[in-house]
Chain A
């Protein structure tokens, strides 16, 4: 007999990170080529699609 798996925890998906209506905070991080990239500078007044993902390694 196998042990049943625990249930998936509930997540309040609306509470994650900056809220709708808020300016996205300043963010400056190195890219894959080692160049520092400032999100809002990079947008240069354009709309943006900002993706957070778990890992590119596993």
Chain B
């Protein structure tokens, strides 16, 4: 792991001492590498204006904040840049998702047994800061011989879905699009309809961005699905998943 910014060696040395950084922080003073790599943020003043932040000359030269994941050959296998520069991924989430290492700060796991499915749900960390992107992971162990429907889906069937419960979140918590494995195409003998299904173990993740401090100590999510075999379907199920969450030291908001 290494991090790159336009700061001087002295600034990075001070930051390292203050925060106990153990990985390399590289100094691209003058931003020449940032420019050469096509990472120079040419929209920084417009972005700041959208938050009412006054123009300062030292804002010039910053990169778009983001992460590259490289494989053993040094090839980019994933890029993680977000629309809003204030919104940030966490190291815990990236290490879990890109490197498969279990987060050392993972939140408590909720386990549920439901018709056809065993569920484990947890946040990558049980704390958040404003504009941090957390991920809810939902691991489904689907009973052998059963499958869950995904989207697209013919009318009248219940696809797997995961939603944050509306109250009391509203604008303070924004859930993005659920990510998960690609479902398999599936047809039922004698029916014209085409389905896609999940089987076995399937892991889904829901990105969550906290835009302000929430007045809650836990978050609840609704998981809906219908489990079917080749010949029969169980009743559609609706589960509530609840995980604890707590606000951490909040950052100042004029940057």
- Map CB proximity to B onto A31-58 as digits: 1 under 8 Å, 0 otherwise: 1111001011011011111111111111
Known A32-B15, A55-B6, A56-B5; contact A46-B36, beta-carbon cutoff 8 A: no
Q: How far is the CA of A14 from the CA of B83 in the complex (A)?
A: 10
Looking at A6, A9, A22, the one whose CB has the most chain B CB atoms below 10 A away is A9
Residues of chain B lying within 8 A (CB to CB) of residue A32: 9, 12-13, 15-16, 21, 24-25, 27
Residues of A in contact (CB 8 Å), total: 45
Contact in complex: B52, A5 (CB < 8 Å): yes
Restricting to B2-21, which residues have a CB under 8 Å from any CB of A?
2-7, 9, 11-16, 21
Question: How far apart are the CA atoms of A22 and B38 in the complex, in Å?
Answer: 13
Provide the residues of chain B in CB contact with A48, threshold 8 Å.
1-2, 68-70, 74
B43 to chain A, nearest CB (A): 5
Number of B residues whose C-beta is below 8 Å from A? 63
In the assembled complex, A1 has its CB within 8 A of some CB on chain B: no
Instruction: Let me know if A20 and B79 touch, CB within 8 A.
Output: yes
Q: Are the CB atoms of B67 and A58 closer together than 8 Å?
A: no
Residues of A within 8 A of B70 (CB): 24, 43, 47-48, 50
Q: Is the CB of B15 within 8 A of A56?
A: yes
B203 at interface, CB cutoff 8 A: no
Q: Check A51 against B2 for contact (C-beta < 8 Å).
A: yes
Instruction: Identify which of A9, A21, A33, A53 gathers the most chain B CB atoms within 10 Å of its CB.
Output: A53
Query: Could you list which residues of chain A lie within 8 angstroms of chain B, going by C-beta atoms?
Result: 5-11, 13-14, 16-25, 27, 29-34, 37, 39-40, 42-43, 45-58
Sample of 16 further A-B pairs with CB below 8 A, known A37-B24, A56-B7: A9-B46, A9-B50, A13-B81, A13-B82, A21-B75, A27-B33, A31-B9, A48-B1, A48-B2, A49-B1, A49-B68, A51-B1, A52-B4, A53-B65, A54-B5, A54-B62
